Chain A
Amino acid sequence: MISGRQNNGWVIWLSLALALLLSVAPMPQSFGLARPLWLGMFIAYWAVALPHRGGMAAAFFFGLMLDVLSGTLLGQNGLPLILITFLVLSLQQRLRMFPLLQQSLVLMVILGIGQLVQLWLNTLTGNRPPTLLFLIPVPVSALLWPWVFVALQWARRRFNVY
């Protein structure tokens, strides 16, 4: 699974750290509901582009970081992220071939599943969101996916990450 040649791994880590930063960046209250799932999208990109690099271990690790940052139980963000990575990795061969919009649609389903798992975990820990509004980040992320994809692709080519 791990190929011998690896290059410029720091770009991956930096982009994931940026995603972590974006997911705690202050936002106006009214947009707070629609905060895109940055970490999910960035990890999904690396899983699509470099399946041998962007792995589930990174998803797990950054999930824990997000847990500490947002004060949830350790693993509460990790579990959905692992699941997202797994689904993207198993669909990777097909996702690569899809045009961007179709990728967005597939990703919407995958991120939606992640959010549902998140909802179950939230319910178990006792603060269930009262409405279906917790799903808003999913379509927002799907809409942003083409831009994220293009930006990260540029970064990948520019720094020659493989």
Chain B
Amino acid sequence: MRLLVLAVLCVVLMVVDARFETLKPLRSQMGLVLTPFYWLADLPVRTWQRATEQLTSSTSLVAENEKLKAEALLMQRRLQKLATLTEQNVRLRELLNSAALVDDKVIVGELIGLDPNPFTHRILIDKGERDGVFLGQPVLDASGLMGQVVEVMPYAARVLLLTDVTHSIPVQVNRNGLRAIAVGTGSPDYLELRHVAETADIKEGDLLVSSGLGQRFPSGYPVAQVTEVVRGSGQPFLIVRAIPTAMLNRSRYLLLVFSDSRTPEERATDAAQAQETADREAAAPAEAESEAQTPDAAPAAPNETPPNGEERP
């Protein structure tokens, strides 16, 4: 009897949880209570790491320091180049009258737990609703895209990694702009590209970057590197495998990106409006000079500009 009641209750809960939003608050509250569990479960690993940090010999520390210094030098060289490239990019975009690329805002999160189910690739991070994390937020590490937020709790969030079977991401070959969809395989080591034509120009070593077409991930972040292209396998499409550039199972710190929430259309409209106001402002002095004789036209122009000006990004 009790079995029946509880089993029915379970089924009802599952259906409600899957189909409706009513249980989400309850869930996030329970998540609040249970977050310390992950902290506690992670405690031995943390203590071990701290102990090894304490006991690392000075030679290895010196070696690491040197390596980091070399790395910083390399990065700085690339940064120098980047500055001129960014400037050039902005100038070219100005020439094309297109919207300026806004630098995305990020916060740093720390990994606090892995999903106990070995068949899903999800991780738990220590930033939640209170830090402004939202559903579908893209997550990166230092070397590439990692995944997206699928569940938000007050002080924690769950991230679905790129390699999960249920995850797909629209990508572009960096070399020639060829578009494709990278699908998780359930193996932590590689992604697969779906529906790439036999004649497509793609080869080993190509870098895949996010294309931003799914309106979820920001465009231009590295996603994976093609490692294997199998042609003429008898399948209707190419078999393309790619290794994620992000260190999906090694990164402890990751970045949560707050990108521009507007759609490309809105962005284009905003940019157009901004351009219009700028043009009008540029033209206003000239008009004012020419129409100085007609007094009622002059106050009309300033009244029009402020609302437009406020809509500028």
Contacts and interface: CB of A to CB of B under 8 A. Distances in A.
Specify the main secondary structure of chain A where it touches its partner.
helix
Interface stretch (B62-70, B118-126, B223-231, B279-287): B118-126
B69 to A, nearest CB: 32
Contacts of B120: 127
A120 B10 CA distance: 14
Nearest to A21: B41
B116 A70 contact: yes
Size category, B interface:
35 or more
Contacts of A69: 34, 37-38, 116
A93 to B, nearest CB: 17
Specify the main secondary structure of chain B where it touches its partner.
helix
A70 B17 contact: no
A86 interface: yes
A74 B18 CA distance: 9
A20 B16 CA distance: 24
Contact of A79 (B10, B42, B166): B10
B6 A57 contact: yes
Size category, A interface:
35 or more
Contacts of A121: 14
Nearest to B38: A24
Interface of A: 20-21, 23-26, 29, 32-33, 35, 55-57, 59-60, 63-65, 68-76, 78-79, 82-83, 86, 121-122, 125-127, 129-130, 133-134
Interface of B: 2-3, 6-7, 9-14, 16-18, 23, 27, 30-31, 34, 37-38, 40-42, 44-45, 113-120, 122, 150-151, 158, 165-166, 186, 188, 249
